[in-house]
Amino acid sequence: MSVLSRTTAGSRVLLMGNEAIARGALEAGVRFAAGYPGTPASEIIGSLAEVAKERGVYVEWSVNEKVGSEAAAAASLAGLRGLSAMKNAGLSVALDFLLHLSYSGLGNQCGGFVVAVCDDPQGHSSGDETDSRWLAKWADIPLLEPDSPQEAKDMTTWAFQVSEEFKSPCFLRSYTRLSHASGTVTLGELPQPDTKAHFDTSQIISPYLAKAKHADLEVRLDKVRELFESSSFNWYQGPEGPELLIVCSGSASRFSLEAVEQLGLEKSVGILKLGTLWPFPKKLVAQHLAKTDRVLVVEEVDPFIESHVKETAFDSGSVPQTLEIYGKGSGHLPLVGETTPDAILEALSTIFNLASPVSDPSYSEKIQEAEEMLIPRGLTWCAGCPHRASFWVMREATRRDGRDGFLAGDIGCYTLDVFPGGGGNQQTKALHAMGSGMGLASGFGKLGQFGFTQPTIAVCGDSTFYHAAIPALVNAVYSGSNMIMVLLDNNSTAMTGFQPHPGTGFNATGDPAPVVDVEKLCQSLGCKIVVSDPFDIEGSAKKLRLLMKKEDGVRILILRRVCELIRMREEKKHPYKVWVDTEKCRGEKCAFCTRMYKCPGLVWDREVGKAQILEAVCPGCGVCVDICPFGAIHREKTP
């Protein structure tokens, strides 16, 4: 039984931040949850899906974050509590709807609607480290930010109440060090909601007329602010009149508490921890600003709280003119990257003029010596991954074509092609957002009239295709763009943990689902489609070259082979036994396989000076046999 469906209230368990958000939603009686996978957010929907049947919740992996938000909001409009979850980049996709939902409100008989957004400070698994809190402000949506898994659970439950009371969506902002942190959580009760879904047709829920709705929204926000001013998720700890006031949120509050203790500053420093961030609780903050001369603001990513503290100080009559405010603006804390305990310790040491702890010079010397030995560990595709073969196919085809062709990439495991020192050979020359490879290629394919002659290949995964590539594909067809799409179909959303999508034949809760057929869909648009197995390097490269020569609109090559991790799990055997004939291997003069193909199952034996199969790693796909220019690698079918 999943710990999420444990019914004993009061029991203490270890939960990941994302699981805590899911549990908080269950404790609020959530009935409908939808989202699109994305690190670090995926486990919110994933863990709800595991208990969906047991708890009577409907859970879906939607095609994208906008549709997921719309679907979950429908439940809310029909009186049920709904949750939508996404990563930071996904919020940009959902915003068009969410902004207008903020204007329209949730109607007379709504159930609460909570949008959980997980930012990725440091960009551990993202192409950006944007701060989504500005978007809550931009869309006038109430915003909460928890500091720990316990608070993530409690705040999620409360967020549904806030949403319901004010008939507005409510944002819960998480971040990597919460979503992917685990902590001790005391569980609450799990209710058995039995509200019947019904949409009240006596109302029209829309943002029109916008000016009037905007005015309503401002009134609503003032009321939310009143509630937030006295929320117990905001608290103060420290002396009555601190020498320095730290205003903080999120895990930065936990780090601040510890830093103050570590430096022995408990008698001089007070901590005002904020959990309700928008509308900003300015009365509460002003009261505390009035009692100190110096403030340090500590938060994750942008100076969001910091700018509102400055605004509050400016607006409030009771704050001394001499108040000094430190943080990202003053340079005491870094503007980029995640907020670490070390950064807070350093900021406090600077402010209080504390000597840095003296480190043992001989230890520092040893560290320096050791650093010379440290080599990077680049990201790569798994041994036997079909993407490695697919990129080899594209390399072969564009090289032989000779017209300086290039790839416009997309988001998925195949993104790793752009990483320096990574698994691929960096043929992807432009890469941005979900579906953008296709959109960019649609544009590149229209540059012929300006003398552009380079073949452009949009590379897109199967899940990404459903998510955002379809409108771009329709655009390319409609505009008569001269381009190729290579669809890397591994039958999974592999990068984020093998979530199903409309092509897989099953849904979030493991039940059979209709397959939305990519080929038929593309055929219906009039595209030329060729399907090939990426492990047939020669054959696939030939097909791609032919498509590159035929310059007539949108051509599609589907390179289809299931993700190796899924294959291995299902088949539990290696297709081939693979070995290197050391007589034939040309050694260091060549090393084509290890230098260029870079499969982790194929290593360089330094002593012998030849390539070698690493048996513990090689899954026996046998593709390297076709890569070796001298026929030195052999394969034999396993029984």
Task: Give the binding site for other proteins (CB under 8 A).
Answer: 12-14, 39-40, 124-125, 148, 150, 177, 180-184, 251-255, 257-259, 262, 340-342, 345, 357, 359-360, 363, 366-367, 369-371, 373-382, 413, 415-416, 421-423, 495-496, 588, 591, 594-595, 598, 600, 602-604, 616
User: What's the closest the beta carbon of residue 2 comes to other proteins, in angstroms?
Assistant: 12
Coil, strand or helix at 395: helix
Based on CB atoms, which residue is closest to other proteins, 445 or 601? 601
User: What's the closest the beta carbon of residue 413 comes to other proteins, in angstroms?
Assistant: 7
Based on CB atoms, which residue is closest to other proteins, 73 or 495? 495
Closest CA to 329 of 349, 353, 348, 309: 309
User: What's the closest the beta carbon of residue 476 comes to other proteins, in angstroms?
Assistant: 28
388-404 in b/e burial notation, b at 16+ Cβ within 10 A? bbbbbbbbbbbeebeee
User: What's the closest the beta carbon of residue 470 comes to other proteins, in angstroms?
Assistant: 25
Based on CB atoms, which residue is closest to other proteins, 515 or 596? 596
Based on CB atoms, which residue is closest to other proteins, 376 or 451? 376
User: What's the closest the beta carbon of residue 224 comes to other proteins, in angstroms?
Assistant: 27
Based on CB atoms, which residue is closest to other proteins, 297 or 313? 297
In 347-472, which ranges are E strands? 406-408, 428-430, 456-461
Strand 528-532 versus strand 244-248 pairing type: unpaired
**97-102 LR contacts (CB < 8 Å, sep 24+):** 97/66, 97/69, 97/70, 97/73, 98/69, 98/139, 98/141, 98/169, 99/138, 99/139, 100/206, 100/207, 101/69, 101/73, 101/169, 102/139, 102/140, 102/141, 102/168, 102/169, 102/217
Closest CA to 41 of 112, 110, 132, 106: 132
Vertex 159: Cα angle to 68 and 144 (nearest 5): 95
User: What's the closest the beta carbon of residue 98 comes to other proteins, in angstroms?
Assistant: 24
User: What's the closest the beta carbon of residue 110 comes to other proteins, in angstroms?
Assistant: 33
Based on CB atoms, which residue is closest to other proteins, 231 or 425? 425
Closest CA to 190 of 143, 227, 157: 157
Residue type, 516: V
User: What's the closest the beta carbon of residue 18 comes to other proteins, in angstroms?
Assistant: 10
User: By CB neighbour count within 10 A (0-12 exposed, 13-18 middle, 19+ buried), where does 38 fall?
Assistant: buried
Based on CB atoms, which residue is closest to other proteins, 341 or 443? 341
Based on CB atoms, which residue is closest to other proteins, 43 or 60? 43
Residue with tokens 């072969």: 396
Based on CB atoms, which residue is closest to other proteins, 379 or 515? 379
User: What's the closest the beta carbon of residue 437 comes to other proteins, in angstroms?
Assistant: 17
Closest CA to 275 of 166, 113, 150: 150
**Cβ–Cβ under 8 Å, residues 610 and 583:** no
